[in-house]
Structure 1
Amino acid sequence: MRVLVAGATGAMGRQLVPRLVGAGHEVHGMTRSASKEAFLRGLGAVPVVADALDPEQVARAVATSRPEVVVHQLTSIGPMDLRHFDRAFAQTNRLRTEGTDHLLSAARAAGVKRFVAQSFFAGYDRVGGAVKSEDDPFGTAPPPGMEQTVGAIRHVEDAVQAATWTEGLVLRYGGFYGPHTFLGPDGEQTEAVRRRRFPVIGDGAGVWSFVHIADAAKATVAAVERGAPGIYNVVDDEPATVATWLPVLAEALGARPPLRVPRLVGRLLAGETGAVMMNELRGASNAKARRELGWAPTHATWRDGFRELAAQLRAESGAAA
């Protein structure tokens, strides 16, 4: 199939484009910067230069590439700041609202058969059980400071599901780790854990779901090729509390155990958003994606992935010595 990947040079795009090419698809990679055309050719894609926030440029990009499938992976995330979460995601929120609308409009005009879009697991309502399925309430009560971000995620999901003229699939990814992510060899969260600047706030009872960026890309290829329209959690097999996964990560990285601070102090360090994410977040089940997309993560648990991350860091450190 002919596939247009919007956001083709981001962390996901770097993983996704080569896998789509390897699966025999003709891939067109949309990027805002002409300087990245050579990079996209190196990945095996036909570069398409367009600003996702310019509806005319998006319309031309889609009309020119004539895709059967559009994959929406548009993000532009600044340095992570839990105290000002919506500010850090401001540009991404525009891409998830305006950018989504532009892509859907252009895709409809071009007769696109399938539209696959990125979402995020952390919008589940923080009530009831610790692990949520796609049928559970989502995005109706966002954490303080995440109202705009969760609202933008809901916009993506609602707009794609309302597009009855195409087959719309939404992938609620877990927290990414791996190359070119915040929790990768050069990631700022990795460095914060190594420097003991990522504390457990309160009792750390918030449940997080992770997924290795390569596994997320594999699931996205599956969504391009098969699966009924709808929403899918793309996460690994082990949702875990912060109090469980953060010390394991620190140990794998050879760091001292994370500090533990009362929730009141944590609010001063990470804002109310950080405190809520540490203590109230709900994880997600991947049962539907396994069943209906025929997908299973290679990194079945973040435990394996964190050990792999630590090994990469040791190898890089040894090579630099």
Structure 2
Amino acid sequence: MRVFVAGGTGVLGRRLVPQLVGRGHQVTATTTSAAKSGVLTGLGAEAVVMDGLDAASVGAAVRDARPDVIVHQMTGISLRHAGKPDFKHFDRWAVPTVRLRTEGTDHLLAAAEAHGVRHFVAQGYANWNGLREGGWVKTEDDPLDLQEGTAAHTSMAALRHVEDVVLAAGGAVLRYGAFYGPGASDDQVELIRKRQFPLVGRATGYGSWVHLDDAAAATVLAVEQKASGVFNIVDDEPAPASEWLPYLAECAGAKPPRRIPRWLARLVAGEVAVIMMTEGRGFSNAKAKRELDWQPRYRSWRQGFKDGLR
């Protein structure tokens, strides 16, 4: 197939493009910087410079590529676009990604309709943001937590927008867990080594992880199977921060993380960080394994952290 990857130079795009090429697909991938075009051509794709927030730029890129499917991987979470992660001011830090998940998604869908692209796959998110009621592990039938009243609300509302409009168009939304792998978790590991990533309270909040290569493999399957609907792309072991964070520190060769009370974490890092560490809900991958026939190579972050950080 002719596959159009919007956001080809992101941490996932760089793992996805070669997997698509290796399966025999003709890939056009976008970047916002002409200086990065060589990265994409080196991965086997045709490189296109595109501004995902400019409808004309998106329309022209899709028209010229004539794809069978569009894969939306555009985010703005890099240091260049958003600066260092800032959970206390999550709403400010997330502005570039929020815009790409609202305006950018709408531009890509409009271009798909205008140029006869019949399939659409978009990036979602399923780490700690399950609805904070009931059990600790959520399925695709459970709505995402909109985090109303917190600095994360705009980001969660943007994720809801992606799901609403992509599903209405008959496409698929892949709710990826927290990425780790080449270039994906370096900032977290740096904080852990500096002992600046503490456990909060009892650290009972759950999260879900996925290795970049496993996320890319699931995306390839969604493309080839013309999948529709929502899929949680996470590993087999959702777990509380009290388990994964000390283990990540151990694998990084760092001292055990400090533990701080909720009130201090709220003061220093904000309400979103407290929710994430104490109330977060993880996700089940049963549907993706059943319907996409996806089997993650790294079934648990325990294996992945050990292999990737030691």
Give the structure-2-normalised TM-score.
Answer: 0.96
The alpha-carbon deviation at position 123 of structure 1 amounts to: 3.2
Contact 1:177 1:212 in 2 (8 A): yes
SS at match of 1:176: strand
* Structure 1, gaps ≥5 residues long: 312-321
Q: How does 1:68-217 map to 2 (within 5 A)?
A: 68-77=68-77, 78=82, 79-121=84-126, 122-142=128-148, 144-163=150-169, 167-181=170-184, 183=185, 187-217=186-216
Partner in structure 1 of residue 235 of structure 2: 236
Counterpart residue type for residue 61 of structure 2: A
Give the match's secondary structure for 2:88: helix
- Paired AA for residue 134 in structure 1: E
Range with bigger deviation, 153-162 or 29-38? 29-38
Corresponding residue of 2:16:
16
- Please give the per-residue CA displacement for 1:270-312, whole angstroms capped at 9, x wherever unaligned: 111100100011000000000011111111000011111222x
- C-alpha displacement of 1:111: 1.0
2: CA distance, partners of 1:280 / 1:227 = 35
Q: Secondary structure at the match of 1:249?
A: helix
Q: CA–CA distance in 2 between the matches of 1:191 and 1:283? A: 24
Q: In structure 2, list runs of 5 or more residues that go unmatched.
A: none
CA–CA distance in 1 between the matches of 2:76 and 2:143? 27
Alignment root-mean-square deviation, CA: 1.1
Structure 1 Cα separation of the partners of residues 147 and 188 of structure 2: 26
Shift of 1:40: 1.0
State the identity %: 54
Give the aligned residue type for 2:156: V
| Amino acid across the alignment from 2:188 | Q
CA contact 1:32–1:49 (8 Å) conserved in 2: yes
Query: In the TM superposition, what are the counterparts of 1:42-81 in structure 2 within 5 Å?
Result: 42-77=42-77, 78=82, 79-81=84-86
- 8 Å contact kept, 2:58–2:108: yes
**Aligned residue number for residue 268 of structure 1:** 267
**1:139-197, Cα deviation, whole Å (9 max, x unpaired):** 4444721001001111111110111xxx400000000011121x1xxx11101111111
Shift of 1:250: 1.0
CA contact (8 A) 1:125 1:142 kept: no
Of 265-274 and 136-145, deviating more is 136-145
C-alpha distance in 2 between matches for 1:143 and 1:123: 14
Letter of the 2:102 partner, please give it.
T
CA drift at 1:35: 1.6
Distance 2:271 2:44 in 1: 44
Q: Secondary structure at the match of 1:47?
A: strand
* Map 1:221-260 → 2, pairs under 5 A: 221-226=220-225, 228-260=227-259
Alignment correspondent of 2:6: 6
Using the alignment, how far apart are the partners of 1:303 and 1:21 within structure 2?
A: 30
Distance 2:147 2:33 in 1: 36
Report how many residues are paired: 304
* Cα deviation 1:69-123 (Å, max 9, x = unaligned): 0000001113111111121111011000000000000011111121000000143
Q: Aligned to 2:89, what secondary structure does the other structure show?
A: helix
Contact preservation (8 Å) 2:146, 2:153: no
Q: TM-score, normalised by structure 1?
A: 0.92
String of CA shifts for 1:47-80, please: whole Å, max 9, x gaps.
1121111101100000000000000000111311
SS at match of 2:270: helix
Structure 1 moving runs of 4+ over 6 Å:
none
Question: For residues 88 and 22 of structure 2, what CA distance do their matches in structure 1 show?
Answer: 41
Structure 1 residue 125 displacement after superposition? 1.2
